[in-house]
């Protein structure tokens, strides 16, 4: 006679919940994380202000008028929302365009570092041998030098210029991406699906692009979230030291440099306001980067 479950036994049987998809889990994690929401809010506001700078800027950012120099912000009775700097330029307009310059610089520099570093790391980990030794020794030499010191030396030799600085910082940052990707490639190249692709006659380029590269991008995304704030601060630092963008280009570093000399004479806004804008941008990227690192951690997803 067939055995059947009693009613009490049947009620005790539970069906395992269907696991959430990674995308749905990531969105739920973002919505329920105060840190992620705070960082996402900061970053969204800063990016929106940068994109809408030509629309939102009330004045020409480079228009100078000495008769209105060091005017206080609106809440202190001034006619300009955030006041003016030492040469009479509107601070709000310069900050909006300065945010745009910082984001353009950061994205382009990181893009160059990712292309160079990921390409070198995949090639070194896949082919090994002399190519691996040469690329990793070059990366060790690059990482042994202080990042800011190398950027300062290159900027001093090549001169000012936004895109010159983008190339310099982008090339300097390749090494950490290369070492990270090389380690991941050494693990992925031994997987069964890579061996199967090689057995089916796939050429090396196809194996690297179709099978290895997609599986080593997770640590690259995490590293981007770490490197992007540092690159933005580097641009502001070089501009502050006079080796960054030209004087005719709005930059948060240039604004801080032009305003700090008035900081203790009562006119604090020319330096503090762009400094706060830079801080909110970097904090937003850092907080979102912390959330990205948690989301891309497979152990955390499996526990959830």
Q: What is the largest CA-CA distance in the chain?
A: 102
Mean of pLDDT values over 33-62: 89
pTM: 0.84
Q: For all residues of the chain together, what is the average pLDDT?
A: 84
Checking if the pLDDT of 232 tops 90, the result is yes
Q: Which residues contact 259 (CB under 8 A, 6 or more apart)?
A: 85, 86, 267, 269, 270, 271, 272, 274
More confident: 267 or 109: 109
Confidence of residue 23 (pLDDT cuts 50, 70, 90): low
Give the tens place of pLDDT for each residue, 55-92: 998 888 888 888 888 888 888 877 888 888 888 888 99
Mean of pLDDT values over 179-202: 88
All domains of the chain in start order, with CATH: 103-251 (1.10.3720.10)
Checking if the pLDDT of 159 tops 50, the result is yes
- What confidence score (pLDDT) does residue 120 get? 93
Helices 252-259, 217-240: inter-axial angle, 10-degree rounding? 30
CA distance 62 to 68: 14
Q: 64 to each of 61, 67, 84, 137, how far by Cα in Å? A: 8, 9, 10, 50
User: pLDDT > 70: what percent of the chain?
Assistant: 89
Give the tens place of pLDDT for each residue, 282-303: 999 999 988 888 787 655 555 5
61 close to 94: Cβ distance less than 8 angstroms: yes
**Least confident piece of the model among 6-10, 105-109, 145-149, 216-220:** 6-10
Q: 140 to each of 125, 176, 216, 243, how far by Cα in Å? A: 15, 9, 21, 26
Give the tens place of pLDDT for each residue, 123-158: 999 998 899 999 999 999 988 888 888 888 887 888
Give the tens place of pLDDT for each residue, 91-103: 999 999 999 999 9
- What confidence score (pLDDT) does residue 111 get? 95
């Amino acid at each position: 006679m067939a055995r059947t479950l009693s009613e009490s036994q049947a009620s005790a049987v539970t069906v395992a919940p269907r696991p959430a998809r990674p995308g749905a889990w990531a969105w739920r994690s973002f919505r329920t994380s105060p840190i992620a929401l705070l960082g996402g809010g900061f970053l969204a506001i800063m990016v929106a202000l940068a994109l809408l700078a030509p629309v939102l800027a009330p004045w020409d950012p480079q228009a100078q008028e000495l008769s209105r120099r060091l005017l206080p912000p609106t809440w202190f009775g001034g006619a300009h929302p955030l006041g003016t700097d030492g040469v009479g330029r509107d601070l709000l307009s310069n900050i909006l365009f300065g945010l745009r310059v910082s984001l353009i610089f950061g994205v382009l520099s990181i893009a160059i570092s990712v292309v160079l570093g990921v390409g070198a790391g995949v090639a070194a980990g896949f082919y090994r041998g002399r190519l691996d030794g040469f690329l990793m020794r070059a990366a060790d030499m690059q990482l042994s030098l202080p990042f800011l010191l190398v950027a300062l030396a290159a900027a001093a030799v090549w001169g000012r210029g936004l895109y010159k600085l983008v190339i310099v910082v982008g090339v300097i940052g390749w090494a950490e991406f290369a070492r990270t990707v090389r380690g991941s490639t050494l693990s992925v190249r031994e997987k069964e699906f890579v061996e199967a692709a090689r057995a089916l006659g796939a050429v090396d380029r196809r194996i690297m692009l179709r099978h290895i590269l997609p599986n080593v991008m997770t640590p690259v995304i995490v590293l981007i979230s770490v490197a992007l704030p540092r690159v933005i601060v580097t641009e502001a630092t070089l501009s502050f030291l006079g080796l960054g963008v030209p004087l005719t280009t709005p930059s948060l570093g240039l604004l801080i440099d032009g305003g700090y000399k008035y900081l203790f004479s009562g006119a604090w806004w020319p330096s503090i306001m762009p400094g706060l804008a830079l801080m909110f941008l970097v904090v937003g990227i850092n907080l979102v980067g912390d959330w990205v690192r948690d989301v891309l951690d497979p152990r955390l997803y499996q526990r959830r």
